[in-house]
Amino acid sequence: MGEKPVTDTPERPTDERTRRLEKVERMRAAGIEPYPVRFDRSTTIGGLREKFPDVEAGTETDEVVRIAGRLLLLRRQGKLTFATVRDGSGAVQLFVSEGEIGIEGHNDFDALDLGDWVGVEGVVMTTRKGELSVKVRSFQLLAKALRPLPDKWHGLSDVDTRFRQRYVDLIVNEEARRVFEIRFKVMAAIRDYLGSLGFIEVETPVLHDQAGGAAARPFLTHHNALDMDLVLRIALELHLKRLIVAGFDKVYEMGRVFRNEGLSTRHNPEFTMLELYEAFVDYGEMMTLTEELVAHCAMVALGTTQVIHDGEVLQLAPPWRRLTLRDAIIEHAGVDVHPSMPVEAVRVLCDKFEVPYEQSWGSGKLMLEIYEKTTEHRLVGPVFVLDYPREVSPLARVHRDDPTLTERFEAIIGGRELANAFSELNDPVDQRERFEAQAQLQADGDAEAHGVDEDYLRAIEYGLPPTGGLGIGIDRLVMLIAGVTSIREVILFPQARPERPEVIRALAVEEAESEITPNS
């Protein structure tokens, strides 16, 4: 053995860790395996609680159970120890008495550390105070924890550590577990709901040879065998619409997309999108579907369609208010803007609202910029904002009543875009023109614009039926329903910079030292 304890990230070696390592060695020396292969449970803790919901205080049943979980709290009281163990379904108290398992057994139990995984067998009972407990008859260490848990009362609150070591966050912070339970319920509710409507869930490629379907910078990667650069998808759109061409009436995909942009409380470089497409309908149906789907998710996850956002109660139950982009701007900025206006006139309005712009932008793009600066953040909603300029909507069909607009809406809740949908553009000639306009923007240096997707055009030249399409940011939906303000709270392992360089440096120093004085 080396002369000093093994260090590893992120902390320096702790006495606690060394102590527990030594404990592991002692156990092995005594013939006890600290990491046994398996443990047969008779029930989960949740199942146990379900079976014994209401046992009178001071009862000892004749039911013997075998449960397993992580040891979270220990309360030793002389010849009696109370412990709290938790598995994936819940927590329960262990009642460990010297009278039941003897002095030696009790001391062995006492040698367990907080954080250890244990399996126990015992009789179901309640204490004098009525706490459901398992009176331990025998127990077994299932996995030794080497690192101590954070403070049992305050938990782990350092945000950076919480996200980097999410496993610890989830062990000790009830709120973290609550948020992810909501996330998983929401995702399951979406699949259930769409399935019940006849939608088919599909999976399309993550690696694309060309980015498309949204305005965003992609991540670049490289395929060695093909010797070609690829991008990670920024949207699901173009593949899903190929599937509508293929003859699927209703398809959806819920999956990860990647956008090469900054990190913030609202942005993580990889996030989860739901996109769905339905043949023969327009954006009106998409509105109905959106409000019903969101309300359904809230109902499943929370049991109510009311959510609290920024201290205010929002009602998600349909119907949601609908107003045009133009009317929204009139309402909140007090000016009437329309893509048909001369660009000079719209620039004057941009100046008035201190909206920066580029010379290449037309009235439609400027209109959207004005909306984003003056109006969007004030829309508490839920509200559907309809009819976006054609210039900023390269995949949406032209509005049936106004050739400068498209049949597109965004759902806004709490000042943020939650969903984006259109009557899909299915005219291949028009689509080619839009792509070419995007390609021009790209050539002019717009890193978020993309070129002509020839295969997509070929696909819709086979005929894309009239189609309604919808995209919902799942992370934002979960944030809304869970009532949290940072996207990192709803992503299990949010993006972070590599861990503290001084740790790496310290390890490098140790390596250098070990070269000078080799271990004997």
80 binds RNA (CB under 7 A): yes
Q: CB-wise, 159 or 348, nearer to RNA?
A: 159
Residue 261 CB, nearest approach to RNA (Å): 10
Does residue 8 belong to the site contacting RNA (CB under 7 A)?
A: no
Is the alpha carbon torsion for 24, 29, 31, 37 positive or negative? Answer: positive
Task: Quote the Cα angle for 179-184-190, to 5°.
Answer: 125
| Exposed e or buried b per residue across 263-298, where buried means at least 16 C-beta atoms within 10 angstroms of its C-beta | eeebebeebbbbbbbbbebbbeebbebbbbbbbbbb
130 binds RNA (CB under 7 A): yes
In terms of CB distance, is 264 or 360 closer to RNA? Answer: 264
98 binds RNA (CB under 7 A): yes
Q: Which stretch binds RNA (CB under 7 A): 275-283, 331-339, 392-400, 496-504?
A: 496-504
CB closer to RNA out of 159 and 188: 159
Nearer to RNA, 80 or 341 (CB): 80
DSSP notation for 441-480? HHHTT-TT-----HHHHHHHHTTPPSEEEEEEEHHHHHHH
Residue window 223-242: x/- pattern of binding to RNA, with contact defined by CB under 7 A: --------------------
Residue range at the interface with RNA (CB under 7 A); choices 78-86, 210-218, 231-239, 421-429: 78-86
Decide: is 24 part of the binding site for RNA (CB under 7 A).
no
Nearer to RNA by Cβ, of 336 and 499: the residue is 499
Q: What is the residue type of 325?
A: L
| 450 contacts 438 by C-beta, under 8 angstroms | yes
* Concatenated DSSP letters of 253-282: EEEEEE------SS--SEEEEEEEEEET--
62: left (phi over 0), alpha (psi -120 to 50) or beta: alpha
The interface mask with RNA, positions 134-173, x = CB under 7 A, is -------------xxxxxxxxxxxxxxx------------
Binding positions for RNA, 253-312, rule CB under 7 A? 262-265
The H-or-E segment that residue 61 falls in is strand 60-77
How many helical (H) and strand (E) elements, i.e. helices and strands, does the chain have? 15, 20
Instruction: Return the number of the residue (138 or 157) whose C-beta is nearest RNA.
Output: 157
Distance (Å, whole) CA 210 – CA 49: 53
User: Does 514 sit near RNA (CB under 7 A)?
Assistant: no
Q: Is 502 in the site for RNA (CB under 7 A)?
A: yes
Please identify which residue in 2, 29, 128, 344 interacts with RNA, judged by CB under 7 A: 128
* Of the candidate residues 40, 54, 129, 344, the single one contacting RNA (CB under 7 A): 129
Examine residue 113 and tell whether it contacts RNA (CB under 7 A): yes
18 binds RNA (CB under 7 A): no
CB of 13 to RNA, least distance (A): 9
Tell me if 123 contacts RNA by CB under 7 A: no
Q: Which of 246, 308, 443, 496 binds RNA (CB under 7 A)?
A: 496
Q: Considering beta carbons, is residue 348 or 496 the nearer one to RNA?
A: 496
Angle at 420 between CA 418 and CA 425, to 5 degrees: 175
Closest CA to 104 of 37, 40, 34, 30: 30
Q: How far is the CB of 511 from RNA (least distance, A)?
A: 14
What contacts 70, CB < 8 A, 6 or more positions away? 85, 86, 87, 115, 116, 117, 118, 145, 171
**Angle ∠(394,397,402) on CA atoms, nearest 5:** 110
Stretch that binds RNA, among 34-42, 121-129, 303-311, 342-350 (CB under 7 A): 121-129
By CB under 7 A, residue 22 contacts RNA: no
Give, as ranges, the residues between 339 and 368 that touch RNA (CB under 7 A).
Answer: 356
Find all residues with CB under 8 Å of 175, minimum gap 6, and list them: none
Q: Which residues bind RNA (CB under 7 A)?
A: 11-12, 14-16, 19, 58, 73-80, 82, 84, 93, 95, 97-99, 113-114, 127-131, 133, 147-161, 262-265, 356, 485-486, 488, 496-497, 500-502, 506
